[in-house]
Each structure stands twice: as structure tokens, then as C-alpha cells.
A and B are shown apart, each in its own frame.
Chain A
Amino acid sequence: MPRSPLLLLPLVLFGCAGKEPGSITVPLQWAAAPTEGTLRPAGRTVEVSLQEGSVSFADLRLHAPAAAARRWGPADLLVGRAHAHPGHDPAGDVRLEALGAWTEDLRAASDGASLGALSGREGEVATASLRLHAGAPQTLVGVLTEGGQQLPFALSVTIDDPIEGVEATALLQAEAPPTAVRLGLDPQAALLPLLESGPLAGLDTDGDGALTAADAGAENSLRFGLLSTLSWTIEVLEAGADTEATDSAPSGG
């Protein structure tokens, strides 16, 4: 049944309609990835030059710290307790979330490109989670150089798995919200597990002159690197930080 604006007016005046107290909306941006870098797997030095790259992900959430042990209270009479899977260090409640799916070009996307907005409630944030999205393959293309030897790489893998526990520390306050949350993938970090397998000379196991997902262990290593919490970054930008944005709306999902 439609409500009369006259009935809503007192609610607005008393703060009972519109934005809820403590609710918060923060722009979500993409952090441009470094395309050149030096990796030092197992004490070796490997130069990485990224020529192409694409990552597909979905549903970013920022979580409160894991619930601490608490004393019994009357609410326990009504509410049961959650159980964690063994070995899982559980994240806390969702503070902010942006639902949708995105595919980002790691070379073309500018720093601060807009991915939309996160919405939720104020409070402490400790970790973030997202999902690698199977809508498009995760792709890294470039050249590795170690000790004068070059090895082109053209890696592509389709992944549909969650990433939980990305470091994201912040205290969200509705009266002074962050200017943006910036999400990024470090392709160098994603490649590191692959390079830890051994020297370049041994990575091209099929001898076709390039490192691809067909080489032994390469697909698993790339999957491992892309799903690693160490490969993803979350930066919560406070007022005063550069937040100039260009649009890159969710592609669906």
C-alpha cells in the first residue's frame, strides 16, 4: 500500500526514514597494477614484464574482526552459536559489500578507476573477501628474464573460487567515511609461486619455448598465486587522498 508523503514527513524529521544511522557508502576503485617488477624467488632474481593481463572477480566484502569469545548473556536464550569449519579462522560480520562481477584489464585500467560503491555499516574492518569469477579467464602474458635468459609466458586459467582473509584494516565511521576503497591485484605476486618451482630453464616442461598452463605444475601454480591473499591489496583511502575516478561499472553478476 502506498504511503502518503505526509505520513513520511514526521519520520524523516525524526530521523526514522532515509539513511539509517551508521550506514555508510564508499566508492570502490581499482588500483592499477605494476607491469614491470623484480621477483626474488628462493634467492634468484627474475625480471617480470607484463604485456597483457586480465582478471575477473566478483562480490567484494570487507569484514569485521573475528568474533571474540564473549560472556553469556540473555540473548543466548534465543540465539544459537555458529560453528566454524575446523581449521578455519573465521572472519567477522560483513561491514561493507559490493556485489557484482568485474573484468579488469591489468594494463589499461587506470589507477582509481571506479568499480561502483561498497555499502554497509560503520565499524572496524580486519579482512576482505572476494571471488575469482569464472565469467572470463584470468590471463597473464609477458616475458620473464633470469640471468640473461628470457622466457615468454602466456598463462590463462578459469577460476571460480573464493579468496578470504585479504588484509584490510580500517575503522569505518559514518560521519567521516573513507573517500574510497581501492582494490588491486599484484600480478608479480601472483606469478611468484610459479617461479618458486625452480629456474626458468625448468619451467617450460613441454619445450615449446613459452611458459603456458600446459607446462607441468604451471596451471596449479598460477591458480595458487591468483587465489593467494598476498596477491590482492585493499587500500582504504581517507579524506585527502587522490580519488579521481574513471568509470568501470560491474559487468554483471
Chain B
Amino acid sequence: MLNPTLTHTPAARALLLALLGLAACGGEGTWEAEIWGEDYIEAGIPAEVFADGCAATFDRFDLRVAAAQIEGGEAGPLAVDLTAPGPQPLASVEVPAGLYDEVQFTMAPGDAEGGVGAGLADAGASLVVEGALSCPGGAVDFAWAFDTAVTWACAPDGLNIGKGGAGRSQLTVHGDHLFYNGLEDPEALVVGEAMVAADSDGDGDLTEAELQATAVAPLGYTVGSHGEVSDLWAFLEVQTRSLGHIDGEGHCEVK
């Protein structure tokens, strides 16, 4: 359960105290949620972001949001292709007016109506990513499907939904995390050469099987508490759990 609560800033708490009296009078507002992959997914990740001179573009970044939740309201499922210009609408639900300190977004496979949702459902996937990675040492195309099920519990800053008004939250998806060289590592670098090298048959397509056959240990990658991760595919699967953020750079707890 989520709760209409307080944010973590003293000003917001003071504001809440003032609003408590108003809240007692009831009333509803609208929580509007949207999703955005930013320029990195829409236009690509430029070479200056990579530590090893690579660059990446995405042709498809389909993500299924099984649920977008706030205390007193829920929407979903909905699937979107984040390569389309965004932000794209995700939910619009009536909720009790108040100041909220938590919203949740769940990415999980399942049925979804129409659009890219059918493709995801057919693949049993919650996330399908297709694109190209170009590095000084070579280039690969990739088409990956993940069945990741994860809930991002996010703390929006100042989500105040007034009576008859609206408040907005954005699930911001960070595509560059797919190329991080560390799990749970705040100092992880965006790199690509190891993935290009994982194209063992050299056909230019980096497949799930090739990633599964590539050990992460010799690469200098780190896995944090995920000691069970030993190959690049498993690494990517876990990394997809880190894609979700709130309102740009806001962090979310991974559940």
C-alpha cells in the first residue's frame, strides 16, 4: 500500500502540516504519470558518454509497465516504445488530494492491450531492446528480450495534488545503464568494447547466447551483492532492474 504522505524536505513537511487541515475536508485531484527515455533512448548515447569511445542507438525500446501506483489509485498495464518522442502518458487517475511521498511503477511481463504490448506479450517479455553499438574495436547490432519483473518504489519531490488540481510524476528510463560495467556501483562506467568482443562468431549480431557464453569476471565488471551473476547476459538481466528513475534523476528503491 502506498500512502499520501510527506516529502523529505522540511519545507514540504511544513507545507503538509498546513495542508492537513485542508485534507480533512476531502476532495480529489488527478495524478498524471508519464514515461520518458530521454535523448539517450530517443536519439542515442553519444561517444562522449562512453568511457571507451563507443556509441549506441536504439531502434526499439519497448517497455511494459504492469502497474503505475499511488495511494488511492492505480493504472496499467501499458506498453510503450520509448524510442518514440516523449514523454508519453502512462496514467491519469483520480486520487485523494494531498502531498505524496511515494509512487510505484512495476515493469513485468504479461498481457497488454494493443500497440507494442502485443509484441512484448508474444515474447513473454517486459522489455525488448533493439539497436546498434559501435566501438573503436568493431560494431554489433543487438535485439534482446528480458522478462524482468521489478517494482520501482520512488520518492517524488513535492508531489502535491491539490483538490481539483493535478500532480505529475515521470518514470524516467535510463538506457545508458544497459552499458554500465557494474551492478550497484555508483562509480560504474558506460562501456561497450566488452560487448562487441562478445560477438564470438563475428557476424555483427550480439545474441543472448553469445552474452551467456561470455564470463563477466575477466572483464573487470563488478556485480555487487549479485554473486550469482557470472555471464554478461545475467549481468544485463540484473541491470535492467536499475533502469527506472523518478522525475529525471530521482532514485527509486528496487523491489
Contact = CB atoms under 8 A, between A and B. Distances in A.
B177 A87 contact: yes
Contact of B220 (A76, A78, A220): A220
Contacts of B183: 87
Interface string A76-112: 1110110111111110000000000000000000000
Interface residues of B, number: 49
Nearest to A166: B225
B239 interface: yes
Contacts of B220: 220, 223
A86 B242 CA distance: 5
B50 to A, nearest CB: 19
A32 interface: no
A83 B251 contact: yes
A229 interface: yes
B155 A193 contact: no
A72 to B, nearest CB: 4
A84 B102 CA distance: 13
Contact of B218 (A84, A88, A197): A197
A193 B228 CA distance: 11
A165 B219 contact: no
B217 A221 contact: yes
Contacts of A194: 217
Interface in A129-159: none
Interface string A53-76: 000000000000000010110001
Interface string A214-230: 00111011011101111
Contacts of A238: none
A40 to B, nearest CB: 13
B20 to A, nearest CB: 10
A86 B227 contact: no
B251 A217 contact: no
A122 interface: no
A216 to B, nearest CB: 7
Contacts of B17: 77
Contacts of B252: 84, 86
A48 to B, nearest CB: 16
Interface in B200-255: 215-228, 230, 238-239, 241-245, 250-255
Given A77-B17, A230-B227, A225 B8 contact: no
Nearest to A161: B222
Interface in A185-235: 193-194, 196-197, 216-218, 220-221, 223-225, 227-231
13 contacts: A69-B102, A77-B13, A83-B251, A83-B253, A86-B243, A86-B252, A87-B184, A90-B253, A164-B225, A197-B218, A221-B218, A224-B221, A224-B222
Interface of A: 69, 71-72, 76-78, 80-81, 83-90, 127, 161, 164-165, 193-194, 196-197, 216-218, 220-221, 223-225, 227-231
Across the A-B interface, the 6 shortest Cβ-Cβ residue pairs: A165-B225, A87-B242, A217-B218, A80-B8, A193-B217, A229-B227
